[in-house]
Amino acid sequence: MSPPLSKFAQSVGGSTVVGMRRQADALEATGMNVVDFGIGEPDFAAPPPVQEAAIKAIRDGHGNYIDPTGLVELRETIAEFEADQHGLHVGVDQITVTPGSYGGLSLITRALLDPEDEVLVIEPGWGPYKAMVMLTGAKAVGVPMGTRHGRFVIDGERLADAVTEKTRAIIVNTPWNPTGRVLLREELTAVAEISERYDLWIVADEVYSELVYANASHLSVATLGADVADRTVIATSLSKSFAMTGWRLGYCIAPPELSALLARINQYTSRCASSIVQYAAVAALRDGGSFVAAMRQEYSLRRDALADGLNQIAGVECPLPEGTFYAFPQIPEAWGDSREVAAHLLTKAGVLLTPGSAYGPASRHHLRLSFATSLTMIEEGLSRLQDALPPRGEFAGNG
């Protein structure tokens, strides 16, 4: 028998998205054709200038370790990009380059938390936040959002009520996976006020910052004022905006003291993000703007088609997503838990999507559908959903 394993590590469960993808793989292996609305990554290739910059970096022999803070030229480019795109003015000493924002968030949780500390994770929320908090031995406390006009919104009172003397941080994500929301100034201000009142860190996940559609605009909580910036750490990446998920390139923006700590932990974690990709990232941030705009335009068309089609299915209510590439419709309680509905749709209709339950109990009766897939697939998927909903028989829930 092997010796025991870490309790913190074992407290972490598997990912629903990955689990459902594996089930879909198994069904496809039997010959079933699956329409994939589960995917959390762009279906585009990285922009050509990025690809060329990576090849050039390889040819120029740039395959060496880089300082754990990141390539200076990249950090300077990030500072310019953040100032131009988000009005965020930061020094190079506030930026740490990481392997994706997974890498960044994992540094952040370790830099901020000790065992027994608590972190407020707003739900519905991206599952890995809880796992990353738990890996440090701290406790992730789920706090449900409120709802307004069928959309999930930040509820400042619920957040304040969940604070204890052990609370160290609140995680916010805008644009918000899975809800498709882009948080409003008033919602971010509520978070900022609570963080100030109780002396908490704000961990701001902004990976979808460039995927915002007409009538919405991305606002970084760190731009609300110098006091807020002093208690905010941003994790973001080029994964979604520049279609570079597998390239693994992200960065954190933090006050200088925390930034230095993040770089120190990075040194003992991955040592540095890939050197080749750091050169490619300079090209993405400098020359990728028109590619991002074209992808956004395409996502916007798909978003309209998907939300329209979902709203035509009896019982399904889908607010128009303001950002990200996820639609998050509500389904009737009578259909049962969204896990059962998702299982029914996969096995009976060949439609892969993610149950809202994966994002916390507040969204038990929601489904997440990614529109990072072609219009043709969206139409095919919608027609299958029309036929398969409402679920009947063994999956019909309690209703």
Ligand X SMILES: Cc1ncc(COP(=O)(O)O)c(C=O)c1O
Q: What is the binding site for ligand X (CB under 6 A)?
A: 40, 100-102, 126, 173, 177, 205, 207, 237, 239, 245, 250
The one-letter amino acid code at 1 reads M
254 to 137, 173, 191, 312, 344: CA distances (angstroms) = 23, 16, 17, 44, 44
Q: How far is the CB of 126 from ligand X (least distance, A)?
A: 4
Q: How far is the CB of 393 from ligand X (least distance, A)?
A: 33
Of 304, 358, 365, 43, which is closest to residue 178 (Cα–Cα)? 358
Q: How far is the CB of 7 from ligand X (least distance, A)?
A: 25
The one-letter amino acid code at 122 reads I
Residue with CB nearest ligand X?
A: 100
Of the pair 15, 383, the CB lying nearest ligand X is at 15
Of the pair 163, 207, the CB lying nearest ligand X is at 207
Q: How far is the CB of 341 from ligand X (least distance, A)?
A: 22
Q: How far is the CB of 248 from ligand X (least distance, A)?
A: 7
Q: How far is the CB of 123 from ligand X (least distance, A)?
A: 13
Of the pair 265, 382, the CB lying nearest ligand X is at 265
Q: How far is the CB of 250 from ligand X (least distance, A)?
A: 5
